[in-house]
Amino acid sequence: MNVVVVNNFDRMSEEVAKIMQTQISRKPESVLGLATGSSPLCVYRLLGEYHERGLDFSQLTTFNLDEYVGLAPDHPQSYRYYMEENLFSKVNVNKAKTFVPNGVAEDLEEECRRYEDLIKQAGGIDLQILGIGTNAHIGFNEPGTEFGTITQVVDLAPSTIADNSRFFDSPEEVPTQAISMGIKSIMKAKNIVLMANGGSKADAIAAAVKGPVTTKVPASVLQLHPSVTFVVDQAAASKL
């Protein structure tokens, strides 16, 4: 496990964006696994700037980690909407090759199977970007999730709902379920980059990097991956 400690959020974003730029330049037809939330916002802005300077996104395939159950793609808090607003509309990606789970599918279990099959058909993920929850979840794989899980419907932990409530007008509006790539799905990626910033993530980062590998700390499984890099700012690294 490679741990890169940088000064602040901006430097973290620059480091992750450069890793993604290198991947896309080296292999234009890369399959990227993408994350949402506040952590990658600046990364996506930087990728838009790289595109303006000539970086070509046209051959990429992308898969998002997760989507809320019950939110349509055009809902302002859906992750499809987030990706359109913050990245897809800023670059020349082929929209037909950008995949986000359908949180309003009639058959959610079938949607999970379909999504897993799509990743397999694409040849697997070359580079997976992750954030981390304050409870060390990756994707929406909450503490207690078995390491062998693939894409599935998950119940969100109370701490995750509380963390996500800042994006909604009221806590009651926050979805309580999501479709998420499973831990096994994530671990199949050839390369993984996890980004974290702020003191609120320090305990999770310390447990993921230095603690025992346990389902109580989902991100700790990354210790077993052959090619993983943590990019964290000084506050998130403060307990390492």
Instruction: Work out the pLDDT band at 164, boundaries 50, 70, 90.
Output: confident
Q: How far is it, in rounded angstroms, from Cα 142 to Cα 157?
A: 7
User: What is the reported pLDDT for 95?
Assistant: 97
Q: Is 137 a catalytic residue?
A: yes
Q: How far is it, in rounded angstroms, from Cα 75 to Cα 204?
A: 30
Q: Is 142 a catalytic residue?
A: yes
Q: How many CB atoms lie within 10 A of CB 93?
A: 22
**Separation in Å, CA 204 to CA 24, 30, 165, 188, 239:** 29, 30, 20, 22, 9
User: What is the reported pLDDT for 71?
Assistant: 95
**Separation in Å, CA 25 to CA 70, 85, 227, 228:** 36, 23, 19, 20
Q: From the candidates 64, 86, 102, 135, which is the catalytic residue?
A: 135
Residues sharing a CB contact under 8 Å with residue 227, sequence separation 6 or more, in sequence order = 190, 191, 192
Q: Is 15 a catalytic residue?
A: no
Question: Could you tell me the two tokens for 120?
Answer: 């397999």
Q: Check pLDDT > 90 for residue 170.
A: no
Q: What is the three-class DSSP state of 192?
A: strand
Q: From the candidates 142, 163, 164, 197, which is the catalytic residue?
A: 142
- 197 burial level (CB within 10 Å; 0-12, 13-18, 19+): buried
What's the average model confidence in pLDDT over 170-180? 90
Instruction: Work out the pLDDT band at 233, boundaries 50, 70, 90.
Output: very high
Question: Could you tell me the two tokens for 239?
Answer: 């307990």
**For residue range 20-76, what is the model confidence (pLDDT) as tens digits?**
999 999 999 999 999 999 999 999 999 999 999 999 999 999 999 999 999 999 999
**Separation in Å, CA 210 to CA 142, 184, 222:** 19, 21, 11
Q: How far is it, in rounded angstroms, from Cα 25 to Cα 21?
A: 6
Q: pTM of the full predicted structure?
A: 0.95
CA angle 33–35–36, rounded 5-degree value: 150
**For residue range 106-156, what is the model confidence (pLDDT) as tens digits?**
999 999 999 999 999 999 999 999 999 999 999 999 999 999 999 999 998
Q: From the candidates 15, 66, 111, 163, which is the catalytic residue?
A: 66
Percent residues over pLDDT 70 in the chain:
100
CB 87 within 8 A of CB 44: yes
**Cross-strand pairs, 138:** 141
Question: Could you tell me the two tokens for 17?
Answer: 């964006």
User: What is the reported pLDDT for 159?
Assistant: 84
Amino acid at 213: V
Q: How far is it, in rounded angstroms, from Cα 229 to Cα 3?
A: 6
User: What is the reported pLDDT for 180?
Assistant: 97
Q: CA torsion angle for 21, 25, 29, 33 (degrees, to 10)?
A: -20
Q: From the candidates 126, 137, 141, 163, which is the catalytic residue?
A: 137
User: What is the reported pLDDT for 162?
Assistant: 87
Q: Check pLDDT > 90 for residue 165.
A: no
Q: Is 8 a catalytic residue?
A: no
User: What is the reported pLDDT for 132?
Assistant: 97
User: What is the reported pLDDT for 145?
Assistant: 96
All domains of the chain, ordered by start, with CATH? Answer: 2-233 (3.40.50.1360)
CB 154 within 8 A of CB 189: no
Instruction: Work out the pLDDT band at 166, boundaries 50, 70, 90.
Output: confident
Work out whether strand 191-196 and strand 127-130 pair parallel, antiparallel, or are unpaired: parallel
CB 142 within 8 A of CB 156: yes
Residues sharing a CB contact under 8 Å with residue 91, sequence separation 6 or more, in sequence order = 47, 48, 51, 55, 57
